[in-house]
Amino acid sequence: MQKKQAGTDQLIAEIIRGIEDVKGQDIEILDLREIENTVCDYFIICNGTSNTQVNAIVNSVRRSVSKALKENPWHVEGSDNSEWILMDYVHVVVHVFQKHIREFYDIEGLWGDAKSVKIETTN
């Protein structure tokens, strides 16, 4: 279990780095490990200001994780319109939204029982 968590911590750090590199906003980590029947251990949620920035965030995360950990997402969906792109790294799922779409779906509210950590960014 410790080895998996160490790998997950590294993955989360690289995902955050990828988001911050292209000025992704409002980064939040939801810890789902203590909630029954979840599809993964963590959600990382952030938003961009346009479909161009959403795509840039996704590409930056993919590049950062691939370079540091030699991992690619198991599945990516939502790239067609770039309003909400989901990147599935099995134990960690990344949600990259445009701000208005994030507010509409309110994943943080839906998963209100999860422990939440907001990442302070300097942009």
Q: What would the pLDDT profile of 72-112 be if each residue is shown by its tens digit? A: 999 999 999 999 999 999 999 999 999 999 999 999 999 99
Asked whether the predicted pLDDT for residue 68 surpasses 90, the reply is yes
Under the banding of pLDDT at 50, 70 and 90, the label for residue 1 is: very low
Q: Domains plus CATH for the chain?
A: 2-113 (3.30.460.10)
DSSP string covering 78-97: -TTT-SEEEEE-SSEEEEEE
Asked if 85 and 78 count as a contact pair (C-beta separation under 8 A), the reply is yes
Q: What would the pLDDT profile of 12-34 be if each residue is shown by its tens digit? A: 999 999 999 999 999 999 999 99
Under the banding of pLDDT at 50, 70 and 90, the label for residue 4 is: low
What gap in Å lies between CA 98 and CA 73, rounded to an integer?
A: 20
What gap in Å lies between CA 110 and CA 113, rounded to an integer?
A: 8
